[in-house]
Amino acid sequence: VQISLLADLRAFNLAYGLDRASEASTVLESAEARIGVTHLRDELEATRALLLAAVDMSFSTALVLASTVIEREAANPQALPRAYAAAIVALWATARPESAIRLADRGIATLAGTGGSFGDVTLHVQTSRFAAFLFSGLLDEAAELATRAYAQALEARTEQARAYWAMYLGEHALWSGRVMTSINWLREAELRLRNSDPYRMRSGVLSSLALAASFAHDLATAASAIGETESRGRTTKLTSPWTARARGWHVAVLGDLDHGRAMLMEAAIDCRNHECGSLEALLMHDIARLGDPGATSARLSEIAATAEGPLFVLFATHAAALAAEDAEALELAAESFRRMGLQLEGAEA
């Protein structure tokens, strides 16, 4: 038990405190080899999977590890929340958000059936489910989840959960094109995370705040948020694409479209190298929106051919319509964006 507890503590410090997720994984793997008790190994494997997915962007390895715990007969119930969260992150990040939602629903039912009390650990499952809703184009479902969870956190006076759900409500508002609402939610989340941010979410909040402020042409707020993100130094690998997206858009809004698109392309290629198809597609579509659809249309079509859900197909068809200057196809894309709830993209198309 002591070996397990110490390994878990050290791994989280390495991953979130020092951005050394690979070393954290090694610590956990070494501890697993020394422990003969299956239920303790379950917890270590689940933790390792979550760190690999949510911090290190090692999605394939994380999914294998997490699935091993999930499918193991008589798996330790205390390990299941982290295992499910890891697998859900790995699935939505690799452009399989519909599979992620199905697994999240299964996980929530399984956890409820154990009768256990998992505290804040189940927060990882629900926030991962929220991201899967977004990348499935299910913005109404994402809003319903975040609104309900925020109200529950408010009633229970759980500050960390309240901060996270304020962040996700801000993210949803940003996707929906309600930019000022997004800024208000993100300001609340950032304020609440100043005193307690064990999972280093504040950098992501600042990045989203900078992006929303750029969309609102509040360039002073955008620059301030980006500057604070940079002053904080290390971020997790999975936060880095969001930070790069905010920086690229800010530079583009300032007038340097070429440099902004180049920053987004660099981040998209890094996502591709990590098999993170969802974020690669988001960044590639941004480049098309910023005036260079020819550079991304083919790649977006490749992603859409194997990805789950209508959002990736819509990204690809919109980029193709922009590249071809096809007015009829652009109108169809605009209507599809509006029906999905992506109002900014609909207005642009």
Determine the pLDDT at residue 115: 59
Q: How far apart are the first and last CA of the chain?
A: 57
Question: Mean pLDDT throughout 144-164?
Answer: 93
Which element (helix H / strand E) includes 198? none
Say whether pLDDT at 294 is over 70.
Answer: yes
Determine the pLDDT at residue 233: 56
Tokens of residue 234, six digits: 């290390």
- Cα–Cα distance measured from residue 171 to residue 193, given in angstroms and rounded to the nearest whole number: 16
pLDDT bucket at 226, cuts 50 / 70 / 90 = very high
Inter-axis angle of helices 139-156 and 159-176, to 10 degrees?
160
Determine the pLDDT at residue 120: 54
Determine the pLDDT at residue 234: 59
Q: Which of 241, 246, 256 shows the shortest CA–CA distance to 212?
A: 246
Determine the pLDDT at residue 318: 98
Q: Note the pLDDT tens digit of each residue in 253-274.
A: 999 999 999 999 999 999 999 9
Q: What percent of the chain has pLDDT over 70?
A: 96
Write down the pTM of the prediction.
0.93
Burial of 3 (0-12, 13-18, 19+ CB in 10 A): middle
Question: Average pLDDT of the chain?
Answer: 92
pLDDT bucket at 197, cuts 50 / 70 / 90 = confident
Determine the pLDDT at residue 33: 83
Q: Note the pLDDT tens digit of each residue in 100-152.
A: 999 999 998 888 876 555 455 578 899 999 999 999 999 999 999 999 999 99
- Cα–Cα distance measured from residue 332 to residue 285, given in angstroms and rounded to the nearest whole number: 17
pLDDT bucket at 84, cuts 50 / 70 / 90 = very high
Determine the pLDDT at residue 87: 97
Question: How is residue 125 annotated by DSSP?
Answer: H
Tokens of residue 296, six digits: 């991304």
Say whether pLDDT at 300 is over 90.
Answer: yes
- Cα–Cα distance measured from residue 96 to residue 337, given in angstroms and rounded to the nearest whole number: 20
